[in-house]
Amino acid sequence: MNLLGYVFKRILQTIPLLFLVSIISFFLIRVAPVDPLAELRLNPSITQETLDYEIQRLGLDKPVIVQYGLWLKSFVKGDLGYCTTGEKVSDKLLERIPNTLLLTSLVILFTWMVGIPLGIVAALHWRKPIDRILTVLSSIGMAIPSFFFALLLLIFAVKTGWFPTGGLTSFNHSEMSTFHKILDILHHLVLPVLVLFTISLSGLQRQMRGNLLDVLQSDYVKFARAKGLSENKVVYKHALRNAINPMVTLLGFEFASLLSGAALTEYVFQYPGLGRLILEAVMKSDINLVMASLMIGTVMLVIGNLLADILLKIADPRVEVS
Amino acid sequence: MAKLPEYNDFVKDNIFKTVLKDKFAKYAVFILLILYLAVLFASFICPYQKEYSNRNKAYCPPSKIYIINEKGRLSLPYTYNYIRFFDKENFDTKYIEDRSQKHFVKYFAKGYKYKLFGIIPCDRHFYNVDEGGEIYLLGTDINGRDNFSRLLFGGRISLTIGFLALFVSFPLGMLYGGISGYFGGKIDFIMMRIAEAIMSIPSFYLLIILASILPANMTSVQRFTLIVVILALIGWAGFSRVVRGMVLSIKKKEFVIASEAMGASALRTIVKHILPQTLSYVIVAMTLSVPSYILSESGLSFLGLGIQQPDASWGNMLKEAQEFINIVSRPWLLTPGFLIFVAVLAFNLIGDTIRDAVDPNSRER
């Protein structure tokens, strides 16, 4: 019950936040001296009805405040308008969001599976060669620009031919059996996941190492040692549990930085995700699409943070809503 | 009243010593020094201007420098020009060396006129070749521009933009956090909700949207300035939250009460007495965030939303490497990526060392 109350409170907190974000981004985009329907007008396949509908929906003949109100109303209803290509924005988003979620969740899964153990290893072998090596490697991982690493992997893919050079599916994807379809997608995912994995791994490993080192110096660990517990018990039963808690909060941050980092990686690998969608939208000044994907990106980020907080509450029931 | 508390003085004195003592950080400082000197003296070092373009030599491979001549004897360094020809069988443009004419490398030779540091008129260059010769140490790009020269000129932008953004974003974040924490109450509540809202927007999305708003018909100086401002707008929110937290505890200290009692204005109390207390955190946060600014700028320019042609930056130079044919058969186009990597790595190492020096907890690690 306590947990439910906590979740409820946290959800209530996010509503004004999203509201504020929508105001900021709406006025930001409206600052741009661009006719939001310019591209639509130029597209011969767009009928006058669609145009009129958009002018109506966006209230382009009315003052900005009213426009914002109209936009908000239709956003809440789920009507996001049309792209410059004439497709519905909501359809496009629904097509892209699962891809980005797939990419980011795979990356988070792998980074946690590898980063946490490596952090523990480094902390336990503090200032020994293995710790030094891991520190150097993580410095390198943190310094390499994601798009540059992606380019290097592309060279590798082109030269060896072992991996596809872009996209999420092969050209003959629709003819494959279900099993081969999954294999095909996984094959396409290897390189983008590898790029994002390398980049977020370093930070996670360092954080884990730092946390565990902090905890290992605390009084209760000293006490546990003094009590005569075996080193394994001290580390894995007492220290680790407390060192993991701050990592859970980091999960939300990690998700945020992945959403941002993924945009460049998606762009290089031509991956059909949200990041590339917003990039393309920005370059074509497709205002409806930019606005919608910005909001969806924010919502995803907020939900990510929310989930991390809830996980933390489960892991550490002492946490309260601030 | 002392302007800075003793702890901050201790920190300031110690930062340089610690950095120079650390094994890795020492090399990092050295590398950065070389990079910054190279871009500072770019017009002296480079044989070509950044606008120089040889339309007949697009994607020319790096010039080979020979110090052993065809008779197997040691010789002064020389190079050959490349000739472009069209391979009709493979439908491919190829370059071969023109072995008929040697071009000796000349040092401190005369070349195009420039102004060193923008004031001293000069026409000497660190290296150049004889009349009629061409020397492209790292090949040329699609417009036949010397890659090496552009790397150095581009470095001027890539290596300074982060710092400039830092000096916009950090004062902004400090002041914002300071005001929010000092006044508290409703002001604090509203200011912090706004900061949180900005933090909730995925930063790269915000970055590209802000960059895309910029009108296309700007001079390069205007564009550079606005990119700095945009980069600065991304980082301040998270930072201001931390400062605000620190201010909340600092404002209860005696010297703040004393300052108020003496009738100092709120702004004076914040700027003169409270914010200097956060300095050690600020220094660490600043050094640690230089790399992220460099990476953001290069990412933005890589996408074509940042620094525009004909200006060079490491990010927009890498733009050409987006094509498969370029990355496979013209690997010299990837050099800007390595430089970004080296610069970011060096800044990270220095930042880590400074953090260890300032943060007493992490020093034991």
Closest listed residue to residue A96, CA positions, set A275, A222, A236: A275
Range of the domain at B238: 6-40+151-362
B78 by DSSP, 3-state: which?
strand
Residue that the structure tokens 């795979």 belong to = A106
Contacts of A240-245 with C-beta under 8 Å, sequence gap 24+, read: A240/A120, A240/A212, A240/A215, A242/A215, A242/A218, A243/A208, A243/A211, A243/A212, A243/A214, A243/A215, A244/A116, A244/A211, A244/A315, A245/A312, A245/A315, A245/A316
Q: What span, in angstroms and rounded, lies between the C-alpha atoms of B93 and B144?
A: 14
Question: Is B267 found in the same domain as B173?
Answer: yes
Residue A215: which H helix or E strand, with range?
Answer: helix A178-216
- Is A301–B215 a contact, with Cβ atoms under 8 angstroms apart? no
Contacts of A73 (CB under 8 A, 6+ apart): none
- Domain boundary pick from B125, B143, B161: B143
Closest listed residue to residue A286, CA positions, set A100, A93, A94: A93
A163 by DSSP, 3-state: which?
coil
Q: How many CB pairs under 8 A join A and B?
A: 137
- Report CA-CA distances (Å) from B175 to B21, B180, B241: 34, 8, 11
Q: Are A302 and B198 in contact (CB under 8 A)?
A: no
Residue that the structure tokens 């409206």 belong to = A30
Is A15 in CB contact (< 8 Å) with chain B?
Answer: no
Closest listed residue to residue A291, CA positions, set A86, A56, A79, A12: A79
Q: What span, in angstroms and rounded, lies between the C-alpha atoms of B78 and B104?
A: 4
Indicate the average pLDDT of chain A: 84
- Residue A106: what pLDDT? 92
Task: State how many domains chain B has.
Answer: 2
Q: What is the DSSP letter of B75?
A: E
Give me the phi and psi of B78, to 5 degrees please.
Answer: -140, 165
Q: Around Cβ B187, how many Cβ atoms within 10 Å?
A: 13
Structure-block tokens of residue B364: 């034991």
- Domain boundary pick from B126, B143, B160: B143
Contacts of A162-165 with C-beta under 8 Å, sequence gap 24+, read: A163/A187, A163/A188, A163/A190, A163/A191, A164/A188, A165/A269, A165/B324
- Is B324–A294 a contact, with Cβ atoms under 8 angstroms apart? no
| Domain contains B46 | no
The mean-pLDDT minimum among A108-112, A239-243, A285-289 falls in A285-289
Considering only alpha carbons, which residue of chain A is nearest residue B294?
A: A145
| Domain contains B50 | no
Q: Are A107 and A200 in contact (CB under 8 A)?
A: yes
Spans in chain B with pLDDT lower than 50: 1-4, 363-365
| Domain contains B29 | yes
- Residue B343: what pLDDT? 93
Question: Is B286 found in the same domain as B249?
Answer: yes
- List beta partners, residue A105: none
- Burial class of B242 by CB neighbour count within 10 A (0 to 12, 13 to 18, 19+): middle
Kindly report the nearest CA distance between residue B345 and chain A, in angstroms.
Answer: 5
Q: What span, in angstroms and rounded, lies between the C-alpha atoms of B332 and B68?
A: 24
Contacts of A22 (CB under 8 A, 6+ apart): A72, A75, A295
Question: Is B33 found in the same domain as B66?
Answer: no
Closest listed residue to residue A86, CA positions, set A138, A142, A150, A39: A39
Q: Are B132 and B101 in contact (CB under 8 A)?
A: yes
Interface of B with A in 328-347 (CB under 8 A): 328, 331, 334, 337, 340-342, 344-345
Kindly report the nearest CA distance between residue A14 and chain B, in angstroms.
Answer: 10
Would you say residue A186 has pLDDT above 70?
A: yes
Question: Is B115 found in the same domain as B218?
Answer: no
Is A153 in CB contact (< 8 Å) with chain B?
Answer: no
Question: Is B16 found in the same domain as B98?
Answer: no
Among partner residues B291, B303, B342, which is closest to A267 by beta-carbon distance? B303
| Domain contains B48 | no
| Domain contains B1 | no
Question: Is B185 found in the same domain as B247?
Answer: yes
Tens digit of pLDDT for each residue in A274-294? 888 888 888 887 778 888 888
pLDDT band at A27 (very low <50, low <70, confident <90, very high): confident
Question: Is B198 found in the same domain as B96?
Answer: no
Question: Is B163 found in the same domain as B112?
Answer: no
DSSP, residue by residue, B11-30: HHHHHHHHHHHSHHHHHHHH
A234 by DSSP, 3-state: which?
helix
Burial per residue of A276-309, b for 16 or more beta-carbon CB atoms within 10 angstroms, e otherwise: bbbbebbeebbbbbbbbbbbbbbbbbbebbbbbb
Q: What span, in angstroms and rounded, lies between the C-alpha atoms of A6 and A28?
A: 33
- Domain boundary pick from B119, B143, B167: B143
Q: What span, in angstroms and rounded, lies between the C-alpha atoms of B8 and A311?
A: 39
| Domain contains B94 | yes
SS3 string, B84-146, reads EEEECCCCEEEEEECCCCCEEEEEEEEEEEEEECCCEEEEEEEEEECCCCCCCCCCECCCCCE
Tens digit of pLDDT for each residue in A243-257? 888 888 788 778 877
Q: What span, in angstroms and rounded, lies between the C-alpha atoms of B230 and B224?
A: 10
Q: Are B38 and B45 in contact (CB under 8 A)?
A: yes
- Residue B344: what pLDDT? 92
Would you say residue A322 has pLDDT above 60?
A: no
Kindly report the nearest CA distance between residue B182 and chain A, in angstroms.
Answer: 19
Q: Are B205 and A263 in contact (CB under 8 A)?
A: yes
Question: Is B178 found in the same domain as B271?
Answer: yes
What CATH number is associated with residue B241?
A: 1.10.3720.10
Tens digit of pLDDT for each residue in A125-166? 888 899 889 988 888 888 888 889 998 888 888 888 888 877
Q: What percentage of residues in chain A have a pLDDT greater than 70?
A: 97
Structure-block tokens of residue B182: 């000092």
- Residue B187: what pLDDT? 92
Question: Is B241 found in the same domain as B117?
Answer: no
Question: Is B179 found in the same domain as B202?
Answer: yes
| Domain contains B49 | no
Kind of pairing between the strands at B74-79 and B92-97: unpaired
Question: Is B157 found in the same domain as B135?
Answer: no
Q: What percentage of residues in chain A have a pLDDT greater than 90?
A: 9
Give me the phi and psi of A84, to 5 degrees please.
Answer: -65, -25
| Domain contains B257 | yes
Rounded to two decimals, the ipTM of the complex is 0.84
Considering only alpha carbons, which residue of chain B is nearest residue A128?
A: B365
